[in-house]
Chains A and B, each alone.
Chain A
Amino acid sequence: MAPCNGHVLTFGLVKGHEQMISRRDFLQAGMAASALLGASGFGNWARVAARQSLSQEQLLDFRNFGNVTLIHVTDIHAQLKPVYFREPSVNIGAGDNRGAVPHVTGADYRRLYGIADGSPSHYALSSDDFAALARGYGRVGGLDRMATVINAIRADRPDALLLDGGDTWHGSYTCYHTAGQDMVNAMNALRPDAMTFHWEFTLGSERVRELVGSLPFAALGQNIFDAEWDEPAELFAPHAVFERGGARIAVIGQAFPYTPIANPRWMFPEYSFGIRDEHMQEMVDEVRGNGADCVVVLSHNGFDVDKKMAGIVSGIDVILSGHTHDALPEPVLVGSTIIVPSGSNGKFVSRIDLDVRRGGMLGWRHRLIPVFADVIAPDPAMARLIEAERAPHLEALGEVIGHTGSLLYRRGTFNGTWDDVICDALLAERDAEIALSPGVRWGPALIPGQAITREDIWNVTSMTYGAAYRTEMSGAFLREVLEDVADNIFHPDPYYQQGGDMVRTGGIGYRVEIDRPRGSRISDLVLLRTGEAIDPARTYVVAGWASVNEGARGPPIWDVVEAHVRRLGTVTVTPSNAVTVVGG
């Protein structure tokens, strides 16, 4: 393990650990929730109250600083329209990152950053009382609202750099049916200066080449290599240099290092990735040698990998961090590098102002701007563009399949309630004993009472390899799969992690010991239906989706979930205690 703890991180670690949830915290949280729930009984009163207490001016308030502005958006996952998005209540860090941000949640998170219970920041950044607060504060995101934020920043500083961290061309019904074109059209209208990549590759090499070739801005990835020759891939530049405010700003791209492992390699066999921090150092030295005054890395590494990389590669001023979907109200400092994570699904826009002089960055000012969709006015031009992209699909998108009586969400180290619904659908519709669902971090939430539309189902399932397979696995192999994924999440060295969450399971329970070495974390596997221990020698019928192997067969997962929800009418999820966590 390389040392990667800056002072600020150590502070977070200590504080996160010491501040246990007190009874008082619970009471305050409870009061906030009941006050809002009470208010929501009066129709739109809570909404009005929330909107009155918040204004677009407040959200965008920022005193210009220095001479350069960066705008960071990342992991939008094709969410053109406002959504509900619940941050995780369980976010377990491994090794040295245990208890360090972003692995702090709920009341601990609010205490750490001095966020008042029931406040807008509580709703935007932490998880508890989500449904009640969602009724008060409404949806978040929407590319038309993001456009308003970006335009307002540009009004302050016309030459601000807009940088997109990737996972943009994936994650919705319209994105799937246009093979990413809806997102390319909408993002082009925002005029980004550079972008890096991850899920984009699941469109397949040919489509990636077509779309990347069409971009009117820089497509960056210093770690995107030609798989055959192990040299930088021609399609992607390692970096781009911009003259801003009299300074030279170098932006180096870092695509998701484990794209061919976490996603199907057979869809883009020409490309190889990896962290490649030696090459990153070469690129930093190269741009510095060519006179860059400030070095920005537009990263899809994931937060803990960025933190470790910042301690190994010298000369990076700013890392704009994506992939793990974390949102923090202030940057984390490692040495003299600031790391800025900017959330996901269109929920946040980060603004970072820099004071860059000849040869160095002297200071910064930062704001994580939550995009409250009821507070920030939609940009009319972008709103029209979005409606035009959606128009051919409106009927399919809007069809109501069922309703939810429970809060449905995904984010968290283990199963979210949306995952439980998907696993139940796999068990029921595919007649399986066990269900497996990928531990991805995208997918908005639905609050109790909401209709479940086809669009909602696609928002949590859409992908280019969504076949719901049905197969047989021995108990021993099942355990091996869980061990393998657990090591991708809980390996103490972030360079050995893949930045997702634990594979979601249906029909089984197990115990996981976070701190045990690879191959010995999982025990007490039981088949929930019978309560019997999983027999290593017996064969079980397993249904799942999102296999990275070529040739997985079965109906698309969205059809499986749709059939299940239609049959149920109203979905209710009881909290699951199928996984026992030790050491988290």
Chain B
Amino acid sequence: MELTRRDLLVLGSGAVAAAGTGSLPAFATPTEDAIAALTGNVVPGEGVIALNAPEIAENGNTVPISVSAPGAALVALFADGNPVPDVAVIRFGPLNPTRTASTRIRLARTQNVIAVAQMEDGSFQMARAAVKVTIGGCGG
């Protein structure tokens, strides 16, 4: 099947109609929606927290990631290419000295892993890492 110009117009108007019925910004992805819901539509800052993930996953079924978020009260992790992007929400108590956490997550395909932190002062910080999940390679 080929898409005609009319199909595209229909598709376009459908999308606008859907966006018009909700309170979410138009054309947002589920991950962007989830982040906006967490931050109350505040755009998070960058450069304060660090997200460590492999550039290329050795095994997409168990990808080690770690986040270091000094000053954070909460860190939410998202995988924007998974069927369900929400991965984890980690809360740090006031006595936690490092505000770091690590875990292993499953990634369905090549995508971004995103960490959003709510800082103790109520502001938000974000870090992002692209992780490639390959079919197979042929190294030298």
Contact residues of A with B, CB < 8 Å? 198, 227, 230, 256, 258-263, 265, 272-275, 278, 302, 323-325, 438-442, 480-481, 484-485, 487-488, 491, 493, 495-496, 498-501, 503, 518, 546-549
Contacts and interface: CB of A to CB of B under 8 A. Distances in A.
Interface string B40-70: 0000000000001011111100001000000
Interface stretch (B77-85, B89-97, B119-127, B132-140): B132-140
Given A484-B135, A487-B132, A261 B140 contact: no
B112 interface: no
A549 B52 contact: no
14 contacts: A227-B58, A256-B139, A261-B57, A261-B137, A263-B139, A272-B58, A274-B55, A441-B140, A484-B137, A485-B138, A487-B134, A491-B132, A496-B130, A498-B139
B64 A230 contact: yes
Nearest to B104: A230
B136 A323 contact: no
B114 to A, nearest CB: 18
Contacts of A503: 138
B110 interface: yes
Residue of B54, B110, B134, B137 with most chain A CB atoms under a 10 A cut-off? B137
Given A261-B137, A485-B137, A488-B56, 13 more contacts: A259-B139, A261-B56, A272-B58, A274-B54, A323-B139, A325-B140, A439-B140, A488-B134, A496-B56, A498-B56, A500-B139, A500-B140, A548-B136
Q: Range of interface residues on chain B? A: 10 to 19
Nearest to B53: A274
B1 to A, nearest CB: 12
Secondary structure type dominating chain A contacts: loop
A278 B137 contact: no
Given A230-B64, A278-B52, A487-B132, A438 B58 contact: no
Given A261-B56, A273-B58, A501 B136 contact: no
Contact of B55 (A259, A275, A325): A275
Contacts of A499: 139-140
A484 B136 contact: yes
Nearest to B55: A495
Given A275-B55, A498-B56, A324 B140 contact: yes
Contacts of B132: 487, 491, 496
A414 B107 CA distance: 30
Contacts of A498: 56, 137-139
A484 B57 CA distance: 13
Contact of B58 (A274, A442, A488): A274
Contacts of A259: 139
A440 B140 contact: yes
A493 B54 CA distance: 13
A262 B110 contact: no
Contacts of A439: 138, 140
A501 B138 CA distance: 8
Shortest Cβ-Cβ A-B pairs, 8 listed? A262-B139, A438-B138, A441-B140, A260-B58, A262-B137, A495-B55, A484-B135, A500-B140
A265 B52 contact: no
